[in-house]
């Protein structure tokens, strides 16, 4: 399976960059449909002035936070990141309070609005940094990919969470990432919640992972009553997941669910930015060409999803994976990005369908999602892309107040007072953000090469189009169709461009 044309059960003729392994799903059996919970009437009513509070949250929302200390030393950042301070969220009964903790102190955690278990995290994303291989509980264990018939042996731990782990494993000379989801079987409700995540990701990935810039579904091994047949079929309607008595007993005995994915050696984009500090590469044209290339691949890949009426709903730095681990390799002619984590994704029943499920990562969700209004999922994804590009350029998230060193002429006491009065959620709701570092680069850095300034200006112009009110915002499909943004298609592999059409 190392040829340029890799077989995929949905699109056998699709030409793509090799990812070594690809799942071949048998046709027998059934698979439950992904579902979207319907919010209660109270959740769709007008929202109070307390923007940090969302009532009756029907599905998870993830707290991923600022990397405001981005400019501290990389070693200290890694030390902080690898040993998070665990802060227990308040008990959730009828409302969900958006709390934020520093992303470098505590990895983003997904919480289910469940009065019985306030800190239940999603099985989709691990929450902390990994430990050394020999100290991992998966050390020396083997995992069988049933459809491929390959046994994989543990190599290293890539991510660790309360209910999920991602490990690196090797079998027959192939490396894969295995997402191990350990379902807490203390109630059918919890099993049902986890079942929705697993089925949603399997269902969507099966249909889109032939794209060279999307994580490949290699195989899966689950004890949930999600059969193979419907992996190949999008559901015709939405309904809540149910858990039978037999299924519940099976999960109590075997609660680990395995999803085998292609391995991305470069890690995620957040880690790349932390290990390649912008200050050290400000005058490096190759670095800026790479940043532009990453952004273009992300935009074109999301356009591909939107053309298929699939909304991601969790675009963020942590979910952009890199296929290589060095800048030199990342500038080759093959795709360099993989978009991952489709646990919150949604396939629209029709192109104009509005959504009402409030989910995503707090720092990346659009104002309309935050405020509980019905929203256009494509425009919401566009907003998240705007946040992502801003974060790359400014080394901080857009709705964090800038450090005092980036705010000349503004009294530190004024900034402190603003921080104490205005929450991040309030600033998202009022779209209160501004450029600081970028303006300095473009106006006060005389020795910065014009080609670098051009790239920064191009990326800045995208953010200016996307981080606006929904009635003024455009979808990425509209964006790449604009003649002045033809440069997005230039300089990326032909495969990526063709898929976005």
Number of Cβ atoms within 10 Å of the Cβ of 413? 9
Compute the CA torsion angle 341, 344, 349, 355 (nearest 10 deg): -140
* DSSP category for residue 454: H
Q: Say how far apart CA 91 and CA 16 lie, in whole Å.
A: 47
Phi then psi dihedrals of residue 260, to 5 deg = -95, 125
Per-residue tokens: 287: 């670095």
| Residue of 145, 174, 451 lying closest to 291 (CA atoms) | 451
Counts of helices then strands in the chain (DSSP H, E) = 15, 17
Phi then psi dihedrals of residue 242, to 5 deg = -115, 155
Computed over its alpha carbons, how large is the radius of gyration of the chain? 22
CA distances from 298 to 265, 338, 476 (A): 18, 8, 10
Number of Cβ atoms within 10 Å of the Cβ of 277? 16
Per-residue tokens: 145: 């990919």
Find where tokens 């309070």 sit.
97
Q: Say how far apart CA 186 and CA 168 lie, in whole Å.
A: 29
Q: Is 42 left (phi over 0), alpha (psi -120 to 50) or beta?
A: alpha
Determine whether the annotation assigns residue 179 to a binding site.
Answer: yes
Q: List the binding residues for ATP.
A: 179
Residues placed in the known binding site: 179
């Amino acid at each position: 399976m190392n040829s340029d044309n890799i077989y995929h059960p949905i699109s056998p003729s699709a030409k793509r960059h090799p990812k070594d392994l690809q799942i071949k799903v048998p046709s027998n059996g059934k698979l439950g449909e992904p579902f979207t919970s319907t919010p209660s009437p109270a959740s769709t009513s007008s929202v109070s002035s307390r923007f940090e509070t969302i009532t009756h949250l029907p599905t998870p929302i993830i707290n991923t936070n600022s990397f405001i200390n981005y400019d501290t030393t990389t070693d200290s950042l890694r030390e902080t990141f690898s040993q998070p301070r665990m802060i227990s969220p308040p008990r959730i009964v009828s409302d969900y309070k958006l709390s934020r903790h520093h992303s470098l102190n505590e990895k983003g955690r997904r919480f289910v609005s469940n009065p019985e278990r306030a800190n239940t995290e999603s099985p989709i994303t691990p929450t902390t940094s990994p430990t050394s291989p020999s100290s991992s509980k998966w050390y020396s264990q083997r995992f069988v990919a049933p459809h491929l018939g390959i046994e994989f042996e543990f190599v290293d731990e890539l991510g660790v969470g309360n209910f999920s782990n991602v490990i690196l494993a090797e079998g027959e000379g192939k490396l894969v990432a295995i997402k191990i989801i350990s379902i807490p079987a203390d109630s059918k409700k919890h099993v049902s919640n986890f079942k929705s995540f697993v089925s949603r990701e399997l269902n969507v990935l099966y249909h889109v992972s032939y794209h060279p810039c999307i994580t490949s579904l290699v195989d899966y091994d689950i004890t949930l009553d999600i059969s193979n047949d419907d992996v190949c079929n999008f559901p015709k309607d939405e309904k809540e997941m149910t858990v039978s008595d037999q299924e519940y007993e099976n999960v109590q005995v075997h609660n680990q669910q395995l999803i085998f994915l292609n391995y991305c050696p470069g890690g995620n984009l957040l880690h790349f930015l932390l290990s390649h500090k912008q200050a050290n590469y400000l005058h490096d044209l190759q670095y800026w060409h790479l940043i532009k290339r990453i952004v273009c691949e992300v935009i074109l890949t999301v356009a591909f999803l939107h053309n298929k009426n699939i909304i991601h709903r969790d675009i963020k730095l942590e979910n952009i994976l890199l296929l290589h681990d060095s800048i030199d390799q990342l500038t080759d002619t093959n795709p360099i990005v993989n978009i991952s984590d489709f646990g919150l994704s949604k396939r629209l029943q029709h192109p104009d369908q509005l959504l009402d499920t409030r989910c995503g990562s707090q720092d990346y969700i659009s104002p309309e999602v935050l405020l509980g209004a019905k929203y256009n999922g494509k425009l919401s994804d566009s907003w998240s892309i705007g946040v992502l590009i801003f974060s790359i350029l400014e080394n901080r998230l857009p709705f964090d107040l800038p450090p005092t060193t980036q705010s000349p002429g503004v009294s530190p006491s004024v900034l402190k007072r603003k921080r104490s009065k205005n929450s991040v959620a309030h600033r998202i709701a009022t779209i209160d953000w501004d450029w600081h570092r970028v303006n300095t680069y473009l106006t006060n850095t005389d020795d910065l090469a014009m080609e670098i300034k051009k790239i920064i200006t191009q990326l800045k112009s995208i953010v200016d189009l996307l981080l606006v009110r929904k009635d003024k915002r455009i979808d990425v499909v509209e964006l790449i169709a604009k003649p002045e943004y033809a440069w997005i298609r230039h300089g990326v592999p032909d495969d990526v461009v063709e898929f976005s059409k």
